[in-house]
Amino acid sequence: MTRTTHQPTDQEPAGLDNRAARPAGRRPAPTRKRQDRPDPVLRVRDLVVRHSASTGAELTAVDGIDLEVRAGETLGLVGESGCGKSSLANAVLRLIPTAGGSICFDGTELVGRSPAQMRDIRRDLQVVFQDPRSSLDPRMRLGAIVTEALRLHGLNNRRERRRIALQRLAEVGIDPALAHRRPAQLSGGQQQRVALARALVTQPRLVVLDEPVSALDVSVQAQVINLLQDMQRTYGTAYLFIAHNLAVVRHLSHRVAVMYLGKIVEQAPAHNLFRRPVHPYTKALIASVLPPRPDARARLEAVRRLAPGEVPSLAAVPSGCRYHTRCPFADTTCKAVEPTLVRIEGDHAGGHRVACHHWERVQAAAPQVQAR
Ligand SMILES: Nc1ncnc2c1ncn2[C@@H]1O[C@H](COP(=O)(O)OP(=O)(O)OP(=O)(O)O)[C@@H](O)[C@H]1O
Ligand SMILES: [Mg+2]
């Protein structure tokens, strides 16, 4: 896939000045000088999320995570199944309680806000889940599904909402003539397009996308990904994008955070992360899924050996570095001392960060994954 989106840089974050097309009554974003660094749309600090396991014990699915997403930017979030990605996403959306930390959205602290106080926030903070069948109300017609958020927030009159619904459906590639249909009368790909139109209709500042294309076949996946990019270009929306398919994450994300057992272990601009992964876990994750260059097959096998064995349970997180039980570089320090996420490149939040005591040794000893 070829990246078509404009890449935000320190000097010029994408999509800051294209929000004039927000529905009537919205305040246009202030114009910024090019050199200004905008505040992040989302700033998460030391976030903790706990669940009660079936045994009655507690598990910490999100264990003190910091992250930021800026306007017009896509932050990809990857990691093995069960590492806590959806728990993080649902906490940001305030769909589940947090046990600690801060979630600052557009300058507003979300932790501690009541559901009623969250209502106004929700038009700027939307979500698309994996399965449109369960997220779309089967009784509603597509037009009403798309405009429901506008109606709930008292935006636009009925006629105008209808016009916006037809326009949004057309934008996501659904024939407006189908607006009277119900979700069951659409294919899965069409349903996910409707879910996207619904999420984007209020021109939100941030959309949380939790495996939005995982249930779709490959050709439809590509269409939805392109659509997400088009929408981001048009409206400057930021995305927190969760997916298992690393090729898709690489294609869509400006920066990527790698999660392991409730912690971020590496975070970097997407290009750096996939070209020069530093953490042994990231190397193994990338090596296990991306096609290597033909000259790198032998090295790839070596990298695969970096992550042997099963993922430990969140209910019994290993001491020290939680990756030490699978890491061939682990020593006594790793078993005893939890590494912090330190910056190894770049001079700001968008730089390359890794949580590994021995990242320099790993770099010297382990081959680079040169994914195509
Ligand atoms: N509501 C819940 N009650 C109890 N445990 C939960 C709940 N939700 C998630 N968990 C547990 O928290 C851990 C993290 O789950 P989470 O769904 O956040 O992982 P994930 O990274 O999104 O996984 P996947 O890639 O499979 O979607 C898992 O051990 C899971 O079983
Ligand atoms: Mg999940």
Tell me the pLDDT band of 68, cut-offs 50, 70 and 90: very high
Q: Is the pLDDT of residue 291 over 90?
A: no
Q: Please tell me the predicted confidence (pLDDT) of residue 312.
A: 84
Cβ distance 217 to 176 under 8 Å? no
Q: Is the pLDDT of residue 341 over 50?
A: yes
Q: How far is the CA of 28 from the centre of ligand 1 (A)?
A: 38
Q: Is the pLDDT of residue 77 over 50?
A: yes
| Ligand 1 neighbourhood includes 61 CB (under 6 angstroms) | yes
Q: Please tell me the predicted confidence (pLDDT) of residue 173.
A: 87
Atom of ligand 1 nearest to the CA of 52: 4
All domains of the chain, ordered by start, with CATH?
42-253 (3.40.50.300), 272-365 (no CATH)
User: Which ligand is nearest the CA of 62, by number?
Assistant: 1
Pick from 164-178, 275-289, 290-304: least confident: 290-304
Residues with CB under 5 A from ligand 2 (ion): 86
| Ligand 1 neighbourhood includes 314 CB (under 6 angstroms) | yes
In sequence order, the 6+-apart residues with CB closer than 8 A to the CB of 259 are 65, 77, 78, 79, 83, 84, 85, 88, 265
pLDDT in tens, 199-220: 989 889 999 999 998 877 788 7
In sequence order, the 6+-apart residues with CB closer than 8 A to the CB of 160 are 24
Q: How far is the CA of 371 from the centre of ligand 2 (A)?
A: 25
Q: Give the chain's mean pLDDT.
A: 83
Question: What is the CB neighbour count within 10 angstroms for residue 58?
Answer: 13
In sequence order, the 6+-apart residues with CB closer than 8 A to the CB of 11 are 34, 35
In sequence order, the 6+-apart residues with CB closer than 8 A to the CB of 310 are none
The secondary structure of the chain in percent helix, strand, coil, rounded to multiples of 5, reads 35, 20, 45
User: Which ligand is nearest the CA of 97, by number?
Assistant: 1
Atom of ligand 1 nearest to the CA of 88: 18
The mean per-residue pLDDT over the stretch 27-46 comes to 64
In sequence order, the 6+-apart residues with CB closer than 8 A to the CB of 36 are none
Between 266 and 54, name the one with better pLDDT. Answer: 266
CA distance 370 to 297: 10
Between 284 and 295, name the one with better pLDDT. Answer: 284
| Ligand 1 neighbourhood includes 82 CB (under 6 angstroms) | yes
| Ligand 1 neighbourhood includes 367 CB (under 6 angstroms) | no
| Ligand 1 neighbourhood includes 225 CB (under 6 angstroms) | no
Cβ distance 322 to 356 under 8 Å? no
Residue 109, classified by CB atoms within 10 Å of its CB into exposed (0-12), middle (13-18) or buried (19+), is exposed
Tell me the pLDDT band of 168, cut-offs 50, 70 and 90: confident
Phi-psi region of 107 (alpha: psi -120 to 50; beta: other; left: phi over 0): left
